[in-house]
Amino acid sequence: MNGPLSIDIVFSVDEVVTITGTFEGDDGRLSGTFGKFNQLKGTWAEAPSYSGDKDSGGFTFTFSDDLTSFYGTYSYGTTPGFAGEWNGKGSN
């Protein structure tokens, strides 16, 4: 995936951290749950359909201990496995 990634963090009452965000390229969107080992697991989708094997899939990001960068992988559709890397770092 290419382009800047913007992430919003929402804390719920039951202490599950739900994260939503956007990324450049076809109006991309993502959502997931932040859990053990600094991992964010979830789904991504982009235009035009926001579904199917070409416009959506899953991802796993592992964040650094200071939460300023991550490395991860993504997949397409419901096909398990590795399709590519998705890495990033914070900007201020």
Structure tokens at 8: 């919003």
Q: How far is residue 34's CA from residue 40's CA, in Å, rounded to a whole number?
A: 4
Instruction: Give residue 82's pLDDT.
Output: 86
Instruction: Give residue 50's pLDDT.
Output: 95
Give the model confidence (pLDDT) of 26-49 as tens digits: 888 999 998 888 899 999 999 999
Instruction: Give residue 91's pLDDT.
Output: 67
Q: Where are the domains of the chain?
A: 5-89
CB 57 within 8 A of CB 74: yes
Q: Map residue 36 onto helix, strand or coil.
A: helix
Question: How large is the average pLDDT for residues 63-89?
Answer: 88
pLDDT at 90 over 80: no
Assign residue 78 a region (left: φ > 0; alpha: ψ between -120 and 50; beta: otherwise): alpha
Helix, strand, coil percentages (3-state) for the chain, rounded to 5, are 10, 50, 40
Instruction: Give residue 24's pLDDT.
Output: 81
